[in-house]
């Protein structure tokens, strides 16, 4: 079943739907994150761009649904949702766990020849070919909260609100289990260009681990380094938006060039 250009579904959130958009930006949230994280991105790029923020099960209005605790299974489902969209020049943007999901989803869509992105923007995540023994998902609640504070990716008001924490922690734990048990398929590459965005003080991604993404594309590759930690994009919104805008412009130009 096709998903209309102005439709919002359980998986697909459009905060500023527009039938006149000439390109599409699909945003993949981080572990424990939700579609609303990308509301400012939608404000910036709509209505010329169809900005879609993905909503995984287990959070916000989907909190009663079980989390999908396997990256491959979640990427399979996301690919099904995205291939039902109309055909437009598309860019994927994923942060942290979302970077891996953007990559795996792009790979699946390229294999099917349906709605694959012109470019993948992988933010705040080491390359799939790099390996770390990370076990945050096995910690108790206090241990998970310590990790969130280290990465500085959660509103500080949440930490003082037991009710909000109790609602958020199951999804956070489930997402950490998914990303920490993920093992990238050896030699897996996408054909499209790949741009990596990383913080120069990210405790979870070194510069070498960011550059290792080059092994995962047959297209153009570059790394953009920003000052800051894991959530560097909070302090560099304008610069990150510039990278996104360049990718969208390139996607539009490529479609125009390919038209008869």
Residue position matching structure tokens 């766990």: 97
Q: pLDDT tens digits for 11-25?
A: 999 999 988 899 999
CA distances from 244 to 51, 173, 201, 210 (A): 11, 29, 22, 18
Phi-psi map region of 58: left, alpha, beta (phi>0 left; psi -120 to 50 alpha): left
Question: Which residues, in sequence order, are bridge partners of residue 121?
Answer: 93, 195
Asked, for residue 156, whether it belongs to a domain, the answer is: no
Distance separating alpha carbons of residues 110 and 82, to the nearest angstrom: 12
- pLDDT score of 213: 97
Q: pLDDT tens digits for 108-130?
A: 999 999 999 999 999 999 999 99
Asked, for residue 149, whether it belongs to a domain, the answer is: no
Domain of residue 56, CATH code: 3.40.50.1820
Asked, for residue 64, whether it belongs to a domain, the answer is: yes
Q: pLDDT tens digits for 122-176?
A: 999 999 999 887 777 777 777 777 777 766 655 444 444 455 666 778 888 899 8
pLDDT (average), residues 98-108: 98
Number of domains in the chain: 1
Long-range pairs, 71-76, Cβ under 8 A, ≥24: 71/97, 71/100, 71/101, 71/104, 71/178, 71/179, 71/182, 72/104, 72/182, 74/101, 74/178, 75/101, 75/104, 75/105, 75/107, 75/108, 76/108
- pLDDT score of 170: 86
Asked, for residue 170, whether it belongs to a domain, the answer is: no
Asked, for residue 117, whether it belongs to a domain, the answer is: yes
Asked, for residue 93, whether it belongs to a domain, the answer is: yes
Q: pLDDT tens digits for 30-85?
A: 988 899 999 999 999 999 999 999 999 999 999 999 999 999 999 999 999 999 99
Question: Which residues, in sequence order, are bridge partners of residue 40?
Answer: none
Q: 116 catalytic, yes or no? A: no
Active-site position among 21, 34, 42, 96 = 96
What pTM was computed for the model?
Answer: 0.93
Asked, for residue 166, whether it belongs to a domain, the answer is: no
Asked, for residue 34, whether it belongs to a domain, the answer is: yes
Question: 109 is in which domain, residue-wise?
Answer: 12-131+184-258
- pLDDT score of 45: 98
């Amino acid at each position: 079943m096709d998903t209309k250009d102005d439709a919002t579904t359980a998986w697909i959130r459009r905060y500023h739907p527009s039938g006149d958009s000439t390109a599409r930006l699909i945003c993949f949230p981080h572990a424990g994150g939700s579609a609303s994280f990308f509301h400012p991105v939608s404000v910036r790029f709509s209505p010329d761009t169809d900005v879609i923020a993905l909503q995984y099960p287990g959070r916000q209005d989907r909190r009663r649904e079980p989390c999908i605790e396997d990256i491959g299974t979640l990427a399979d489902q996301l690919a099904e949702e995205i291939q039902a969209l109309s055909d437009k020049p598309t860019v994927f943007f994923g942060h942290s766990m979302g970077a891996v999901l953007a990559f795996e989803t792009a790979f699946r869509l390229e294999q099917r020849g349906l709605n694959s992105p012109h470019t993948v923007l992988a933010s705040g995540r080491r390359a799939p070919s790099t390996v770390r023994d990370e076990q945050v998902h096995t910690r108790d609640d206090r241990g998970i909260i310590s990790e969130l504070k280290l990465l500085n990716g959660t509103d500080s008001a949440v930490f003082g609100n037991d009710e909000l924490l109790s609602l958020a922690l199951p999804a956070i734990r489930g997402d950490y289990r998914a990303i920490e048990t993920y093992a990238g398929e050896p030699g897996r590459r996408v054909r499209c260009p790949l741009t990596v965005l990383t913080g120069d003080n990210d405790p979870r991604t070194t510069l070498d681990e960011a550059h290792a993404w080059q092994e995962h594309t047959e297209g153009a590759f570059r790394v953009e380094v920003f000052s800051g930690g894991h959530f560097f994009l909070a302090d560099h919104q304008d610069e990150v938006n510039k990278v996104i805008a360049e990718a969208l412009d390139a996607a539009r130009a490529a479609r125009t060039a390919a038209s008869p």
